Structure 1
Amino acid sequence: MFRRHGLRATAAACCATALLATPALAGSDGPGAPGAGDEYFPGYGNGGYDVSHYDIQVRYQPADDHLQGTTTIVAKPTQNLTAFNLDFALTTKSVRVNGVPAQFSQAGMELTVTPPVTLPEGSLATFVVEYEGVPSTVEVDGLTPWIRTSDGALAVGEPEIAAWWFPSNDHPRDKATFDVSVAVPDGTEVVSNGVNTKNSSLAGWTTWQWRTTKPTATYLAFIGVGQYGISTKTGAFGQPFVSAYSDNLGELEGAAKASVERTPEVVEFLSGLLGEYPFEAQGGLVSSEGMNFALENQTRPTYSHKFFRNGANTSVVVHENAHQWFGDSVSVDTWRNIWLNEGFASYAEWLWSEKQGTGTAQELFDYYYGRHPADDPFWQVLPGDPGAGAVFDAAVYDRGAMTVQALRNVVGDAVLQDIVRTWGSEKRYSTGTIEEFIALAEQRSGKQLDELFNTWLFTKGKPPVGEATGVPPRVNHVMVAPPKAVAELDRTHALLHEH
């Protein structure tokens, strides 16, 4: 997936009136950190507490993009907490901690809250935040990820979007379950993660309620508001399969449906490779405007209409659903580890091509390896440490996928499958690092893989031909005839990298 990113401002004081906090006990109490410690995005996330659940209730008016809401956060302090931060960009009206009004200040994307009494480590805590704003007009550090459309909005983005519609601990390290309730004018649809539990209408407004019961990273929680045709059917493994297509897709509607409606087939295929599907529902949403990318929102990937301009495109469906394992169930521990998301999702496209008979993974490896000469800047981006400005660079995707094929060449098909299935099982609903994956690969294969991973992930330049690097001798030159799958893969990845 691709989305813009930027560093957040750290918390700063601004005026607020509320109860004073009880003084901290020297040496034992203190405020939570204003960031989760991510080296690429230091201000993202927060320390001092762990969230278990978000209850998000918002009222949204498409006519003027006005949103007002109340979010209740169920959390557990991980220290004796005298103050804490939430990541949030809209205007905060009030904050209650354990039912009592709390002092707060807000600057940039940091909402700093001082509860009236210290929150004991390990206790049950609730944070209730009331807020409002016009999300499309809110810019922080040059970012405005909220997408306003002619008939509604899309809260879709990576690595940031949550702060434009609900306060949170906005980092993949702190996953939680979600209840999302959105009231919109009658005749407007709302799509979110998981399962639609209830709809109700009153006084010209319809409230849509969605629930996801598996741990979810905050950037993977989303809403799509507008004019959509929504269908719920039985998908793979008897689960709900929810698809939503904008009413304004026009001539692209057929191609979009011919692609996204294959999601259950894709999920069955990926389950055979990666292990049990980790969530409670499946599906997809296709927008008709506002988006130039696709995103692996948990249980419900969201696609730009542009992916279907040239006909059906199952490659992007495979890519975003592969993220349900690599990215959603097992998320990056920090954003430096993005190869674990994009390299494996891109490689899943190659395996789908292999299944469809449009080009084997090795043929695609050969093509992309030969396509980029040694002096191509493509080889100067390190998939294992691309830098904050290149998290979604083409090399993270394509060189990342080549890395997986190189690993396959060295360890063999059966061992590679064992590695990825073990990774998904042992790391389910948590996070992982590249170093942990390498250690697992060496343990399961019984091979020393330092040269392979150092060369492909952490060394600038075109990896040399050799047994230890997984590059067979025949790929020294550009292939004359690329596999049939290349045209679709290129179209897909061009959009995945597009702003």
Structure 2
Amino acid sequence: MALAAALLGALLLSAAPAPGVPAASSFPIGDRIYPMLGQAGLDVRHYDLDLTVARPGTLELRGEVTLTLAATRPLAAVALDYLGPAVQEVRWNGAAQAFTLDRAAGKLRVVPPAPLRPSETARLSVRYAGLAVQTPDLSLLTGWQAVPGAGGVGGANYSLSEPVGTRGFMPVNDHPSDPATFTVRITVPAGYTAAASGLETGVVSGPAGHTFTFEQAVPIPAYALAIHINRFVRVDSAPVPVGVGGAAVVRRDYFPAGLPPRVAESVRAPYRRTGEMLEVLAGWFGPFPFAAHGSAIVESPVPALETATLNTMPVRSSSERVLVHETAHQWFGDRVVLADWSDVWLSEGFATYAELLWAQAQGQDGGEVAAGWYARLQGRPTRPLAATSAEELFDQTAYLRGALALHALRTEVGDVAFRGWLRSYVAVFSGQPASTAGLLALTRRELGVRAEATLRLWAESLTLPPLSAPPS
């Protein structure tokens, strides 16, 4: 803690405005929960990230990221979210560029030679090195995670960034409404394996160790970027033909090499059913949206996270229920992204309902599952589905009441119409950020006024609606 505080103090001193750089507004997106995150009008198309981790298990890293930028309005300045290591150099279209690093605001600001206009693209490169900075979000320190090895040997690192932790280890437009594609190259010492979102496209050996390259060709929100470094055992499984256009989805999972044999066997068991889960969920939601899917297992007491194409799964969370939940997020959260964090139930409620769909596929009674959720909510505080504070983002309303809203709609319209509605929602909102208002409008178009009223009752009522209540 003392070392991190000392480093942060040094970075604050080094972040004074560069000569000739005028003050620039952050132009935040205006999220209801995180109002200062992101930049309105900025469209990051692609991140090309090089990370070098010479000492796994520590917060030390060295990186360079090149962002391909576009704009939806003229931008006289670019303000990226960033809290990470000291910035060594910034380049705009290859030329050195002055910058300011405002630690208090968490912004890296660059004023380009000319405004960035909607008809143009630009390349902004940032080189940095030092200690990653973790963000206190709710009860967690999110961002770049470090797991020291026993006796200082053989540590691990991984990203755990939801909701706003990515800015602690790379400059980013850190809002889910601006998804982007990624190229990630990770250099690690010999004996280590790196894994990241997307397809692995190459491994090169050099003096610094091994460099692993991954291509994430479908846009994802920055918080969903998976990066893992460990002494892994990689397990490849048969591809699953549930991708877009019937494409085969590459299957791979990463397990820590040091697990005792009995523990390793128990931990691996749920992941052998990932292919079945993809088939069941694709039957409801439509084709799997990415080229690969799997999980990386971590030996840390953290929540599971739906990092895109590679779930981050703690050992203790290695169960079928949790794996189904995180896999459903690949559709809802990673592909259908949020317009605003207040509507996080659109991710968590849908992923929770996937647990019921999987349970039904295993022969369980879906009505009993829903009744169990309802019993857990009765007598407890509830709220409309739109969150009003960070503390509400991941509460039982977002998960259970969100899932029950979907069950009420399904009960109202029947399975055939409900399946078509789910698929339409994914298809329509894969190309634009989703909101509760947008979902309600889609429901009215697809299913009619009565169905919209059913969903709206669960979304907006101040009290918990009856489990089988007809629409008012």
> Considering the TM-score relative to the shorter chain, is it more than 0.5?
yes
Aligned to 1:340: 346
Aligned to 1:439: 441
Aligned to 1:113: 110
Structure-2 change in CA distance of 1:199 and 1:294 (3 Å): same
Aligned to 1:409: 411
Aligned to 1:65: 59
CA contact (8 A) 1:76 1:124 kept: yes
SS of aligned partner of 1:182: strand
Alignment TM-score, normalising by the size of structure 2: 0.88
Structure-2 change in CA distance of 1:215 and 1:63 (3 Å): closer
Q: Does 1:318 align with 2:303?
A: no
Q: Tell me which of the two structures has the higher relative contact order, counting C-alpha pairs closer than 8 angstroms and 6 or more residues apart.
A: 1
Shift of 1:118: 2.9
SS of aligned partner of 2:191: coil
Unaligned runs of 5+ in 1: 1-10, 22-29, 471-499
C-alpha separation in 2, matches of 1:272 and 1:393: 28
Structure-2 change in CA distance of 1:104 and 1:141 (3 Å): farther
Aligned to 1:256: 267
Q: Does 1:269 align with 2:275?
A: no
The residue type paired with residue 256 of structure 2 is S
CA contact (8 A) 2:58 2:157 kept: no
Aligned to 1:17: 18
CA contact (8 A) 2:33 2:388 kept: no
Shift of 1:372: 3.8
C-alpha separation in 2, matches of 1:83 and 1:245: 43
Aligned to 2:35: 42
Report the identity percentage.
29
Shift of 1:214: 0.6
User: What is the count of residue pairs matched by the alignment?
Assistant: 442
SS of aligned partner of 2:433: strand
Can you list the C-alpha shifts for 1:287-341, whole angstroms capped at 9, x where unaligned?
Answer: 122x421111111111011114xxxx21111111111111111111111111111
Can you list the C-alpha shifts for 1:128-162, whole angstroms capped at 9, x where unaligned?
Answer: 00111212x55578974122112121111211221
Shift of 1:31: 5.8
Q: Does 1:364 align with 2:360?
A: no
SS of aligned partner of 1:294: coil
Within the candidate set 195, 220, 230, 2:199 is matched to: 195
Alignment TM-score, normalising by the size of structure 1: 0.83
Unaligned runs of 5+ in 2: 1-11, 149-154, 242-247
Aligned to 1:392: 394
Shift of 1:265: 1.3
Shift of 1:20: 5.0
Summarize the alignment of residues 233-244 of structure 1 with structure 2, pairs less than 5 Å apart: 233-237=237-241, 238-244=248-254
C-alpha separation in 1, matches of 2:38 and 2:380: 36
Summarize the alignment of residues 162-311 of structure 1 with structure 2, pairs less than 5 Å apart: 162-237=166-241, 238-250=248-260, 251-289=262-300, 291-308=301-318
The residue type paired with residue 35 of structure 1 is P
C-alpha separation in 1, matches of 2:458 and 2:291: 35
The residue type paired with residue 464 of structure 1 is P
Structure-2 change in CA distance of 1:285 and 1:429 (3 Å): farther
Can you list the C-alpha shifts for 1:369-418, whole angstroms capped at 9, x where unaligned?
Answer: 23443x322xx233233532210002211111111111111111111111
The residue type paired with residue 404 of structure 1 is L
SS of aligned partner of 1:369: helix
C-alpha separation in 1, matches of 2:375 and 2:136: 41
CA contact (8 A) 1:12 1:106 kept: no
Q: Does 1:351 align with 2:357?
A: yes
Aligned to 1:149: 147
Within the candidate set 53, 71, 79, 2:46 is matched to: 53
Structure-2 change in CA distance of 1:457 and 1:120 (3 Å): closer
C-alpha separation in 1, matches of 2:402 and 2:108: 36
C-alpha separation in 2, matches of 1:438 and 1:139: 34
CA contact (8 A) 1:12 1:107 kept: no
C-alpha separation in 2, matches of 1:420 and 1:113: 42
Superposed CA RMSD = 2.4
Single out whichever of 147-156 and 251-260 deviates more from structure 2. 251-260
Shift of 1:449: 3.9
SS of aligned partner of 2:445: helix
Q: Does 1:85 align with 2:84?
A: no
Can you list the C-alpha shifts for 1:341-371, whole angstroms capped at 9, x where unaligned?
Answer: 11111011011111112x3221111222234
Aligned to 2:457: 455
CA contact (8 A) 1:54 1:176 kept: yes
Shift of 1:442: 2.0
Single out whichever of 141-150 and 44-53 deviates more from structure 2. 141-150
C-alpha separation in 2, matches of 1:48 and 1:457: 29
C-alpha separation in 2, matches of 1:191 and 1:333: 28
CA contact (8 A) 1:35 1:42 kept: yes
Single out whichever of 279-288 and 60-69 deviates more from structure 2. 60-69
Single out whichever of 362-371 and 293-302 deviates more from structure 2. 362-371
C-alpha separation in 1, matches of 2:350 and 2:196: 25
CA contact (8 A) 1:249 1:305 kept: no
C-alpha separation in 1, matches of 2:13 and 2:444: 46
C-alpha separation in 2, matches of 1:236 and 1:465: 36
Structure-2 change in CA distance of 1:434 and 1:185 (3 Å): same
SS of aligned partner of 1:353: helix
Aligned to 1:493: none
Shift of 1:430: 3.0
Aligned to 1:133: 130
Shift of 1:431: 1.5
